[in-house]
Protein backbone atom coordinates (compact mmCIF):
# COMPACT_ATOMS: atom_id res chain seq x y z
CA UNK A 1 0.00 0.00 0.00
CA UNK A 2 1.42 3.31 -1.16
CA UNK A 3 1.75 6.13 1.34
CA UNK A 4 0.50 9.62 0.51
CA UNK A 5 3.23 12.19 0.45
CA UNK A 6 2.91 14.88 3.05
CA UNK A 7 3.53 18.38 1.79
CA UNK A 8 5.03 20.69 4.40
CA UNK A 9 3.05 23.82 5.25
CA UNK A 10 6.01 25.91 4.21
CA UNK A 11 5.70 24.66 0.68
CA UNK A 12 1.97 25.38 0.59
CA UNK A 13 2.50 28.93 1.68
CA UNK A 14 5.18 29.43 -0.96
CA UNK A 15 2.91 28.17 -3.74
CA UNK A 16 4.70 24.85 -4.23
CA UNK A 17 2.29 21.97 -4.54
CA UNK A 18 -0.80 24.17 -5.12
CA UNK A 19 -3.49 23.07 -7.57
CA UNK A 20 -2.92 24.39 -11.08
CA UNK A 21 -4.86 27.53 -12.05
CA UNK A 22 -8.24 26.90 -13.71
CA UNK A 23 -7.99 30.08 -15.80
CA UNK A 24 -7.32 29.50 -19.50
CA UNK A 25 -4.41 31.31 -21.09
CA UNK A 26 -5.42 34.42 -23.01
CA UNK A 27 -5.87 33.92 -26.74
CA UNK A 28 -4.17 36.30 -29.13
CA UNK A 29 -6.53 38.98 -30.53
CA UNK A 30 -8.05 38.29 -33.96
CA UNK A 31 -6.22 39.68 -36.95
CA UNK A 32 -7.50 42.89 -38.63
CA UNK A 33 -8.52 40.83 -41.64
CA UNK A 34 -10.81 38.67 -39.53
CA UNK A 35 -12.33 41.77 -37.92
CA UNK A 36 -13.06 43.33 -41.30
CA UNK A 37 -14.75 40.15 -42.55
CA UNK A 38 -16.86 39.97 -39.40
CA UNK A 39 -17.93 43.60 -39.78
CA UNK A 40 -19.01 43.06 -43.38
CA UNK A 41 -21.07 40.00 -42.51
CA UNK A 42 -22.70 41.84 -39.60
CA UNK A 43 -23.56 44.79 -41.83
CA UNK A 44 -25.27 42.51 -44.34
CA UNK A 45 -27.32 40.91 -41.60
CA UNK A 46 -28.47 43.99 -39.72
CA UNK A 47 -28.93 46.39 -42.62
CA UNK A 48 -32.24 45.75 -44.40
CA UNK A 49 -31.37 48.32 -47.05
CA UNK A 50 -28.83 45.87 -48.49
CA UNK A 51 -31.68 43.50 -49.34
CA UNK A 52 -34.53 45.97 -49.78
CA UNK A 53 -36.50 45.34 -52.95
CA UNK A 54 -36.17 48.11 -55.48
CA UNK A 55 -39.41 48.92 -57.25
CA UNK A 56 -39.58 48.96 -61.07
CA UNK A 57 -37.87 52.03 -62.47
CA UNK A 58 -36.72 53.34 -59.10
CA UNK A 59 -33.00 52.82 -59.60
CA UNK A 60 -32.75 54.33 -63.09
CA UNK A 61 -35.35 57.05 -62.38
CA UNK A 62 -37.66 55.96 -65.21
CA UNK A 63 -40.34 55.92 -62.52
CA UNK A 64 -40.39 58.53 -59.78
CA UNK A 65 -41.96 57.45 -56.49
CA UNK A 66 -43.12 60.42 -54.46
CA UNK A 67 -42.17 58.79 -51.14
CA UNK A 68 -38.51 58.53 -52.18
CA UNK A 69 -36.69 61.48 -50.55
CA UNK A 70 -33.83 61.07 -53.03
CA UNK A 71 -36.04 62.27 -55.89
CA UNK A 72 -37.39 65.44 -54.25
CA UNK A 73 -35.41 67.55 -56.72
CA UNK A 74 -37.41 65.98 -59.56
CA UNK A 75 -40.78 67.05 -58.14
CA UNK A 76 -42.73 70.31 -58.30
CA UNK A 77 -46.18 71.12 -56.95
CA UNK A 78 -46.14 68.52 -54.17
CA UNK A 79 -46.36 68.65 -50.38
CA UNK A 80 -44.38 66.67 -47.81
CA UNK A 81 -44.21 62.86 -47.74
CA UNK A 82 -47.00 61.32 -45.64
CA UNK A 83 -47.06 57.88 -44.02
CA UNK A 84 -43.79 57.14 -45.85
CA UNK A 85 -45.93 56.24 -48.85
CA UNK A 86 -47.15 59.22 -50.89
CA UNK A 87 -47.55 62.97 -51.29
CA UNK A 88 -50.50 65.25 -51.81
CA UNK A 89 -50.31 67.20 -55.03
CA UNK A 90 -51.47 70.73 -55.63
CA UNK A 91 -53.79 71.72 -58.48
CA UNK A 92 -50.84 71.52 -60.87
CA UNK A 93 -47.77 69.31 -60.41
CA UNK A 94 -44.81 68.16 -62.46
CA UNK A 95 -42.27 65.33 -62.39
CA UNK A 96 -38.97 65.09 -64.27
CA UNK A 97 -38.52 61.50 -65.44
CA UNK A 98 -35.56 59.85 -67.14
CA UNK A 99 -36.01 58.34 -70.59
CA UNK A 100 -36.30 54.54 -70.53
CA UNK A 101 -34.16 52.37 -72.79
CA UNK A 102 -35.25 52.25 -76.44
CA UNK A 103 -37.94 54.89 -75.88
CA UNK A 104 -36.35 57.03 -78.59
CA UNK A 105 -37.02 54.25 -81.10
CA UNK A 106 -40.10 52.53 -79.65
CA UNK A 107 -41.85 55.18 -77.60
CA UNK A 108 -43.27 54.47 -74.15
CA UNK A 109 -46.36 54.94 -72.02
CA UNK A 110 -46.59 57.60 -69.33
CA UNK A 111 -48.20 56.20 -66.18
CA UNK A 112 -49.58 58.16 -63.23
CA UNK A 113 -50.64 56.13 -60.20
CA UNK A 114 -52.75 58.01 -57.68
CA UNK A 115 -55.66 57.94 -55.26
CA UNK A 116 -58.65 60.25 -54.89
CA UNK A 117 -59.88 60.20 -51.28
CA UNK A 118 -63.60 60.16 -50.55
CA UNK A 119 -63.23 63.56 -48.88
CA UNK A 120 -62.11 65.10 -52.18
CA UNK A 121 -65.05 63.71 -54.13
CA UNK A 122 -67.45 64.82 -51.39
CA UNK A 123 -66.03 68.35 -51.40
CA UNK A 124 -65.33 68.80 -55.13
CA UNK A 125 -67.32 66.28 -57.14
CA UNK A 126 -65.75 64.72 -60.27
CA UNK A 127 -62.11 65.65 -60.94
CA UNK A 128 -60.65 65.95 -64.44
CA UNK A 129 -56.92 65.47 -65.07
CA UNK A 130 -55.08 66.88 -68.08
CA UNK A 131 -51.41 66.58 -68.84
CA UNK A 132 -48.37 67.32 -70.97
CA UNK A 133 -45.29 65.16 -71.50
CA UNK A 134 -42.37 66.83 -73.24
CA UNK A 135 -44.73 69.02 -75.28
CA UNK A 136 -47.11 66.15 -76.12
CA UNK A 137 -50.63 66.88 -74.92
CA UNK A 138 -52.22 64.16 -72.77
CA UNK A 139 -55.97 63.61 -73.17
CA UNK A 140 -58.22 64.59 -70.24
CA UNK A 141 -59.67 61.92 -68.00
CA UNK A 142 -62.49 62.47 -65.50
CA UNK A 143 -62.83 60.57 -62.23
CA UNK A 144 -66.17 60.72 -60.43
CA UNK A 145 -65.59 58.20 -57.64
CA UNK A 146 -63.06 57.79 -54.87
CA UNK A 147 -60.40 55.11 -55.13
CA UNK A 148 -57.00 54.14 -56.53
CA UNK A 149 -56.44 54.80 -60.23
CA UNK A 150 -53.90 54.55 -63.03
CA UNK A 151 -53.74 57.13 -65.79
CA UNK A 152 -51.89 55.69 -68.80
CA UNK A 153 -51.22 57.12 -72.24
CA UNK A 154 -48.88 56.00 -75.03
CA UNK A 155 -46.30 58.53 -76.21
CA UNK A 156 -44.49 58.76 -79.56
CA UNK A 157 -40.72 58.52 -79.98
CA UNK A 158 -40.45 62.28 -80.57
CA UNK A 159 -41.07 62.89 -76.84
CA UNK A 160 -37.87 61.04 -75.91
CA UNK A 161 -35.31 62.74 -78.13
CA UNK A 162 -33.75 65.01 -75.49
CA UNK A 163 -32.75 63.35 -72.21
CA UNK A 164 -35.17 63.66 -69.29
CA UNK A 165 -38.83 64.44 -69.89
CA UNK A 166 -40.92 66.71 -67.68
CA UNK A 167 -44.47 65.44 -67.24
CA UNK A 168 -47.01 68.00 -66.02
CA UNK A 169 -50.55 67.31 -64.82
CA UNK A 170 -53.30 69.84 -64.15
CA UNK A 171 -56.54 69.28 -62.23
CA UNK A 172 -59.68 71.21 -63.06
CA UNK A 173 -60.24 71.80 -59.33
CA UNK A 174 -58.62 71.35 -55.94
CA UNK A 175 -59.65 71.79 -52.32
CA UNK A 176 -58.76 75.22 -51.00
CA UNK A 177 -57.10 75.82 -47.65
CA UNK A 178 -59.35 75.68 -44.61
CA UNK A 179 -58.76 76.08 -40.89
CA UNK A 180 -55.19 75.28 -39.91
CA UNK A 181 -54.49 73.39 -43.15
CA UNK A 182 -53.18 75.98 -45.61
CA UNK A 183 -52.55 73.51 -48.42
CA UNK A 184 -54.32 73.53 -51.77
CA UNK A 185 -55.00 69.79 -52.07
CA UNK A 186 -55.42 67.94 -55.34
CA UNK A 187 -54.87 64.18 -55.44
CA UNK A 188 -52.68 61.68 -53.60
CA UNK A 189 -49.85 60.67 -55.93
CA UNK A 190 -47.82 57.47 -55.58
CA UNK A 191 -45.70 57.57 -58.73
CA UNK A 192 -45.18 58.97 -62.22
CA UNK A 193 -43.08 57.18 -64.79
CA UNK A 194 -42.57 55.57 -68.17
CA UNK A 195 -43.33 51.96 -69.01
CA UNK A 196 -43.60 49.83 -72.14
CA UNK A 197 -46.59 50.62 -74.30
CA UNK A 198 -49.62 48.59 -73.35
Residue-wise pLDDT for 73-120, tens only, equals: 999 999 999 999 999 999 999 999 999 999 999 999 999 999 999 999
pLDDT value for 6? 47
pLDDT band with cut points at 50, 70 and 90 for residue 18? very low
pLDDT value for 22? 41
Distance between CA atoms of 158 and 38, rounded to whole angstroms? 52
186 neighbors 174 (Cβ within 8 angstroms): yes
For residue 99, give the nearest of 113, 110, 84 by alpha carbon: 110
pLDDT value for 179? 85
63-195: which CATH topology?
Answer: Jelly Rolls (2.60.120)
Q: Is the pLDDT of residue 32 over 80?
A: no
For residue 167, give the nearest of 143, 151, 183 by alpha carbon: 151
Classify residue 138 by burial, with Cβ atoms within 10 Å: 0-12, 13-18, 19+.
buried
Percent of the chain with pLDDT over 70: 72
Average pLDDT over residues 51-59: 60
pLDDT value for 59? 81
For residue 166, give the nearest of 96, 75, 113 by alpha carbon: 96
pLDDT value for 43? 40
Average pLDDT over residues 122-130: 98
Q: Which residue stretches of the chain are H helix? A: 9-13, 32-46, 103-106, 118-124
Mean pLDDT (the chain, rounded): 81
pLDDT value for 53? 47
pLDDT value for 188? 98
More confident residue, 128 or 10: 128
pTM of the entire predicted model: 0.72
pLDDT value for 126? 98
Amino acid sequence: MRRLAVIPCSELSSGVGQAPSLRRPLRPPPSPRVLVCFALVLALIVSPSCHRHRRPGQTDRTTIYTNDPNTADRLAGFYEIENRAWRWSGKEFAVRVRNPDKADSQGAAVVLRFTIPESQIAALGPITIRGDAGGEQLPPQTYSTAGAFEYRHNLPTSVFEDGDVTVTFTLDKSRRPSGDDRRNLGIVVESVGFEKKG
